[in-house]
Structure 1
Amino acid sequence: MSIVPHTFSSAAELTSRPGRTIVYKHSPTCSLCGWSEHVLGRMAREDGVTLELVDVLAERPLSREIEQHFGVRHESPQILIIDEGAVTWHASHRGVAPERVRAALAGSREGLGARV
């Protein structure tokens, strides 16, 4: 799998989805986002996971809606792991490092909300 365009149209839709969705919020003008897209894309392919991309510039209303709905302050890059409709882990900036995301996907709460 890899980083793909998001398949949801609202935060409420994420709440009603069964299973796990990994939301990756990204700004195409941010150099740190360029780094994270590269390393997270490689991680997603290696681990067989899908990250659903929200371009925070092109999709500003959706990005803000996600922030308000889930109560997780927007920063980019940012990962939100949403499991059975609830955010179970999130991080931003260098906190979205592959080893942290892998640990969170395995159930670790370490690094929750990390902004490194």
Structure 2
Amino acid sequence: MTEVQLHTLEELDQFVSGAGKRLLFKHSTICPISTTAYEEFQAFLSEQQLPAAVILVREDRPVSNAVEERFAIKHESPQIFLLEDGQVKWHTSHWKITKDAIREAVQG
């Protein structure tokens, strides 16, 4: 399954308010660590059917900032969130974003 990109606060609200589990990935397109984490995220999605979205932190900064404000979780990049029914159930950042870590969080 491929992810959608969130460019507006309305798109963020719609994605977050969805039922069930979903993944939200904050990505910096100029950071090599973020590129590696994004590849892990995409590898996970290639094997799983789970709604997923990406926020490009430099290009869509207001949306990225809204995630930090909404969930009261300090911004990092790269950063991934497992949401369930609109609430953060798990999150991590940087080198801890791996296909296996995502799988464990989703299954847990």
TM range (shorter): 0.7 to 0.9
Structure 2 residue matching 1:21: 3-state secondary structure: strand
Evaluate the alpha carbon distance shift between residue 7 and residue 62 of structure 1 in structure 2; reply closer, same or farther with a 3 A threshold.
Answer: closer
Alignment-derived partner of residue 41 in structure 2: 40
Alignment-derived partner of residue 2 in structure 2: 2
Structure 2 residue matching 1:47: 3-state secondary structure: coil
Structure 1 residue matching 2:59: 3-state secondary structure: coil
Q: Is the 8 A contact 2:28 2:77 kept in 1?
A: yes
Q: Is the 8 A contact 1:79 1:90 kept in 2?
A: yes
Evaluate the alpha carbon distance shift between residue 70 and residue 80 of structure 1 in structure 2; reply closer, same or farther with a 3 A threshold.
Answer: same
Q: How far apart in 1 are the matches of 2:45 and 2:91?
A: 16
The percent identity for this pair of structures is 28
Higher-RCO chain (CA-CA 8 Å, sequence separation at least 6): 2
What is the Cα deviation at residue 37 of structure 1? 1.5
Q: Which runs of 4+ in 1 moved over 6 A?
A: none
Alignment-derived partner of residue 110 in structure 1: none
Alignment-derived partner of residue 72 in structure 1: 73
One-letter code aligned to 1:20: K
Q: Could you tell me the TM-score, scaled by structure 2's length?
A: 0.86
One-letter code aligned to 1:51: A
Q: How far apart in 2 are the matches of 1:86 and 1:67?
A: 13
Q: Tell me how many residue pairs correspond in the alignment.
A: 107
RMSD of the TM alignment (CA)?
A: 1.9
Alignment-derived partner of residue 53 in structure 1: 54
Segments of structure 1 that go 5 or more residues without pairing to the other structure are 108-116
Deviates more, 1:37-46 or 1:26-35: 37-46
- 1:57-114, CA deviations, whole angstroms, 9 ceiling, x for partnerless residues? 011011111101101111011101110111000000011111111000001xxxxxxx
One-letter code aligned to 2:5: P
What is the Cα deviation at residue 7 of structure 1? 8.0
Q: Is the 8 A contact 1:22 1:79 kept in 2?
A: yes
